[in-house]
Amino acid sequence: MDRDSTSVGRLIMGYKANSLLAGVALLAFIFLRRQHQRDTAAREHGCQPPVKHQVREVFTGFDFQVAINTNVTCLFHWHRKYGKTFETRQMFGLPSIGTIAPKNLCVVHMAVNDFGIKPFRLPGME
């Protein structure tokens, strides 16, 4: 009886490990696919890669988020330093792009055809 419970426990642990591995692989695939789609859209529109702003807190970019939400003048200084468009990347989370060029916003959002906040603002923006 004790052998059976041990083998069942090992079998369950094997399923959990395989499920975890499959979940991680799926997340990596989704991340890489989305990155490829963004890069393809940027190349199709002739976009140059933006200048990179290095965040201090590299895992979540928390310092960057706090700075843009509490100190608006930092955005002014960053745009003077990096130009009209710059990008921040962190390990966990999506990259943040800061731009003051309206044409950049239209190109990026019209490429995926979702400019505005669906369904509230899109009909008024067509």
Look up the pTM and report it. Answer: 0.53
Average pLDDT, rounded, for the chain: 75
Q: Provide the pLDDT for residue 2.
A: 53
Peptide bond just before 119 cis, omega within 30 deg: yes
3 shares its domain with 35? yes
Do 22 and 83 sit in the same domain of this protein? no
Residue 64 CB burial class (10 angstroms; 0-12, 13-18, ≥19): buried
The pLDDT value given to residue 25: 92
Please tell me which residue, 76 or 126, carries the higher pLDDT value: 76
Q: What pLDDT digit, counting tens, does each position of 29-70 carry? A: 988 888 788 778 777 877 777 888 888 887 878 888 888 888
Q: What is the number of domains present in the chain?
A: 2
Query: Which is it for the CA torsion 107, 108, 113, 115, positive or negative?
Result: negative
* Whether the Cβ atoms of residue 95 and residue 66 lie closer than 8 Å to each other: no
Q: Does an H or E element contain 88, and which?
A: strand 85-88
Q: Are 29 and 79 contained in the same domain?
A: no
The pLDDT score that the predictor gives to residue 89 is: 81
Shared domain for 25 and 64, answered yes or no, is no
